[in-house]
Structure formats: structure tokens, C-alpha cells
Structure 1
């Protein structure tokens, strides 16, 4: 199994997860927050064509996660998985799209991959994040959550790799030019994970098999890659895991799971 990002941040998100078994290969796209043309361009950068995508799996309805999803799915005849709550928020965009539903705890079998959604605290209709596995490796994804919960800690236990939101530094957010209402939303219990919150999550989860952590969904105004990496290192507390940080413009290249 391997994974790569087409871009990560408030201007658009898309994560690729791929698994190979014998002669078959399955690649899913987790969220699609770029235009169809831009998604196709970024896929080519990752060595893929639109026809290589076997499914799109949606976390929630915010535009930086779904703005291109349904147009891409319709054009390339790709099925889309999402929660019932998310569907209620986006159903006007779903005409002629192969829509399939998911819910917390029920695993989705998509080719060589199994993805299990789990609910997270975020200001959306029915937001979920996912753990992906291929029978050997386990990848956890957690972005767009406001705070640590025991449910997400349990969901991420025993992952080999983790894509973890490090959206903002609390002090930088407090002193930023953002209006107070936006600061409250981002830093609130249903907003985005701060560096400190990401540290706490890493300290809480079972890291026995964890070998790679990628900081994701960084605010370009209220965080830096250096601060995010330091927060991850603190949360790992000496655990033997590589640290990297995803970017908005270039995401990150393919990472092979051990």
C-alpha cells in the first residue's frame, strides 16, 4: 500500500491511497477539493490518469474537500462514497453520479482496499475520517476535527502511518488578522486541530506500529511546517517514526507503506 497527496490545506485537499494485489491495483481518492482540470493535472504529476481512480471517498461537505468531487466523478464515471449527512448537504451536485453511502464503523471494500469511516467533531453535517488497510498495512487519516475524542483515538490505534491535521499554532491564530468569529470557529471544539491538540492525539494513540506521520491541512497564515513538525515530534515522544509535512501546492509524493 502507498499514499500521496495532491495538495493539503484550506485551498483544496485530495489524498490518494493505492494498493496492489497480484495483477490488480486499486487507487481511491480521499476528497477532491480542486477543479477537474487541476485534479487531472495533479494526478498526472503523481503518475496517474483519471481512469486510474477507482472511487472517491468523501469526508465532509466543505468546499476545500468536495468542490471538484462530483464533476470529476460524473465526467469519469467514478463512484463516490459519503455519509448520509454529507449527502444531504451536497445532493444538488450529485445528479448522474454513482452515490454510495457509508457510516461510522462500517468498512467499505473497494477493490484491494478496505476503508473504515469514523466520526469526528467538526462543524459539518455528518463528518467522518477514514482508516485504510490492505490486509498488511494500516493508514490512518485525521483532518478537520476540533478536538481529541476517545472514539478517534481508538480508531487510529495500531496504524503504520498517519496523516494528521496540524492546522494552526494557537498563539499565531490568536494574534492573526482573522476576525474574531473566524478565530473562534477555527480554534473551537468543532473547528480544526491545533499543533497542541495533534501532540495530545499522538501521545494518546497506540503507536506500537507507527512508522510515519505526515502533518496535514496546515494554515498558511497561522502555522509553519517547522512548528507542525515540532508538535509531531513532541507527540511521538521518541517513537521511531519519520516526520514530514504536506504542502498546499504540492502535497507530497508517494510514500510506500512498510
Structure 2
């Protein structure tokens, strides 16, 4: 199993998970043109995809999902709440011509060589989920866009071999930054985004000797820096540059193998 990112941040998110002949895209916050260009960097095309999985309906995660699925005839798996959010009257999203499959939080599904667990998370969306992927004994997790760590979330991700973990903001930078108070409260709330200290708390609860790759993701360009995020994780016990890296908005990160 291996994973890569096409980009991570408030301007667009997309993550690739591959195993054998199976290639899954988690979210797509980019236009078709941009997605094709970013996949081409990895020697891939959207035509190579098996399916698209959606975490929630916010634009930086779903902007390109339906157009991409429609053009390349790809099935889209999403929760009932997410489907409801994007298909209501007046929505900008067109679901016509797209094969939609409902996934249920906590209920596993099989996509080719990958076993997929949708994990419910606290976020300000209709029915948001994140994902744990399993292939044999290997486990890779995508965990971004949540405002707090529930016992269920910690348990679901504790034994990952690879993990994309949200480090959205530094508390001091958010407090002193340019956001209006209402947005600061939203971002920093229990259904907003994880800050560096929360991410560090999650790292403390991981089975650290097992973890091969930790990728700090969804960093705010206004309210965080890679140095701040890395420092928080180092304080939590992971300061090995061979295992810890930061995903960027422009380039994401290249393939990481899970051995």
C-alpha cells in the first residue's frame, strides 16, 4: 500500500491511496484541469482511478469531485448527509450523471484490494467522515477536518502504519491573526479544525513504534507554519525527519510506501 497527496490546505485537498490494481482518491478540491496536472506529476490520470471517496461537502474537498466523476465515469462514495448537503435545492453541485454510493460511518466497505473504514468525526458539516484503509496487516489513515479528538477517533487511528494528521493552526497565531472573531471561533471550536496541541495529543496516543509515516496536513497559511506544527509533534515524542513530514498546498507529497 502507498499514499500521496495532490495538495493539502484551505485552497484544495486530494489524497491518493493505492494497493495492487486499486487506486482511490479521497476528496478533490481542485478543478479537472488542475487535478489532471497534479496527477500527471505522479505519472497518473483520473482514468486510472477506481473510485472517489468524499469526507464532507466543503468546497476545498468537493469542488472537483462531481465534474471529475462525470467526465471519467467514476463511482463516488459519500455519506447520506454529505449527499443531502450537495443535492439540496439551490446547490451549485450537479449530481446528475454521477454514480453515487452511500457509505455508512462505522461500516466497512471493500474497494478492490482496499478495506475502507469510514470514521465519523466532529466537524461543522452534515455527516462528515474520515477514513482508515487496510490492506493485509497494514493500516493507513486520513484524519483532517475535525475540531476535537473523541475516544472513537483515537481508537480507530491508534494503530496506523501511516497517518495524515491535521495540524491546522497554532493557537497564538489564530488569536493574533486577521480572521474575524466569528471565524476564529469556528476554526478553533470543537467542530472546527485541530490545532497543533491537539495534534500533538493525538500523536502521544498513537502506537508510535509502528508508525512509519506521519504527514502533518491541512496547515493554515495564515495561522500556522511547518515549524510550529513540527515542534508540537516533536514535543509529543516524534522528531524523526525520516518519519515525519509536512504536506503543502501546492505540491502535497510524493508517494510514501507502507511496508
Please classify the TM superposition score into its range, dividing by the shorter chain length: over 0.9
Aligned counterpart, 1:166: 167
CA contact (8 A) 1:43 1:49 kept: yes
- Alignment partner of 2:130: what SS? strand
Q: Distance in 2 between matches of 1:212 and 1:241?
A: 8
CA-to-aligned-CA distance 1:220-255 (integer Å, 9 cap, x gap): 011011111111222235789710000000000011
CA contact (8 A) 1:10 1:64 kept: yes
Task: Give runs of aligned pairs for residues 192-211 of structure 1, distance below 5 A.
Answer: 192-211=193-212
CA-to-aligned-CA distance 1:137-174 (integer Å, 9 cap, x gap): 11011100001110100100211011000000000000
Gaps of 5+ in 1: none
- Alignment partner of 1:39: what SS? helix
CA contact (8 A) 2:158 2:205 kept: no
Task: Give runs of aligned pairs for residues 1-258 of structure 1, distance below 5 A.
Answer: 1-20=1-20, 25-91=21-87, 92-236=93-237, 242-258=243-259
Which has the higher mean CA deviation after the structures are superposed, 4-13 or 240-249?
240-249
Poorly superposed stretches of 4+, deviation over 4 Å: 237-241
Count, aligned residues:
254
Q: Distance in 1 between matches of 2:155 and 2:62?
A: 27
- Alignment partner of 1:132: what SS? strand
Q: Distance in 2 between matches of 1:67 and 1:30?
A: 12
CA contact (8 A) 2:233 2:239 kept: no
Q: Distance in 2 between matches of 1:242 and 1:69?
A: 30
Q: Distance in 1 between matches of 2:117 and 2:36?
A: 26
Q: Distance in 2 between matches of 1:79 and 1:3?
A: 20
Alignment TM-score, normalising by the size of structure 2: 0.95
Q: CA RMSD in A?
A: 1.4
Q: Distance in 1 between matches of 2:76 and 2:56?
A: 12
Alignment TM-score, normalising by the size of structure 1: 0.95
